[in-house]
Amino acid sequence: MTRFLLAIVPLVLVASAASAQQQGRDACTRDATRFCRAHLNDGDQAVLACLQEHRGRLTKACQRTLAEHGQ
């Protein structure tokens, strides 16, 4: 039983982190589509830079997500 728990706990933590990342993406998806359409195929860093350039025009949810992730 202990081995089972030791194997499951890291998987749960990874799944939680992935879920948080997905929620962050969901919060900024509309803003990215609206302001950064030209950069959507250039990778996450290009989209992030574009969102940062438009920070004042982003939704509150996206602004909060960026701030929570140190951006």
Indicate the pLDDT class of residue 55, thresholds 50, 70 and 90: very high
Cβ of 9: how many Cβ atoms within 10 Å?
10
Q: What is the overall mean pLDDT for the chain?
A: 77
What pLDDT does 23 receive?
57
Overall pTM surpassing 0.85 (yes/no) = no
Indicate the pLDDT class of residue 26, thresholds 50, 70 and 90: confident
State the angle between helix axes of 44-53 and 2-35 in degrees (0 to 180), rounded to the nearest 10: 50
